[in-house]
């Protein structure tokens, strides 16, 4: 399998090989690439960012931690259909256990 590491702007080209007992990552310039390559080959995850309406403004939101890539659409659906936000504060949880991932969606910014 081949991936581009997205852990920093360098974007190393990773080649990941699975054997019976191990996963071998090549092409990474640092240890973070090895961790990313192994994750991509077994359980790829992503942070999800979005915006939600807030009064006549919007708030920026994100998942509290990376969630499985397969759940991204479900997460965005729950963000879109979340109840209106009454008093937005940075770090406030607006969707708990989003898409049953165990992660929350939190406010990261209030946009004017």
Return the number of the residue (12 or 67) whose C-beta is nearest ligand SF4: 12
HEC secondary structure over 9-24? CCCCEEEEEECCCCEE
Shortest Å distance, C-beta 27 to ligand SF4: 8
Q: Please compute Rg for the chain using Cα positions.
A: 17
30: contact with ligand SF4 by CB under 6 A = yes
Which of 47, 104, 55 is closest to 79 using CA atoms? 104
24: contact with ligand SF4 by CB under 6 A = no
For binding to ligand SF4 (CB under 6 A), which residues are involved? 5, 7-8, 10-12, 28-30, 32-33
């Amino acid at each position: 399998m081949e991936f581009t590491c997205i852990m920093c702007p360098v974007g190393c080209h990773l080649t990941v090989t699975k054997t019976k007992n191990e996963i071998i990552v090549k092409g990474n310039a640092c240890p973070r690439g090895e961790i990313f390559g192994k994750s991509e080959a077994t359980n790829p995850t992503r942070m999800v960012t979005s915006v939600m309406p807030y009064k006549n403004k919007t708030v920026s939101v994100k998942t509290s931690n990376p969630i499985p890539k397969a759940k991204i659409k479900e997460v965005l659906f729950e963000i879109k259909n979340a109840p209106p936000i009454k008093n937005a504060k940075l770090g406030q949880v607006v969707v708990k256990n989003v898409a049953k991932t165990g992660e929350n969606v939190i406010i990261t910014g209030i946009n004017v």
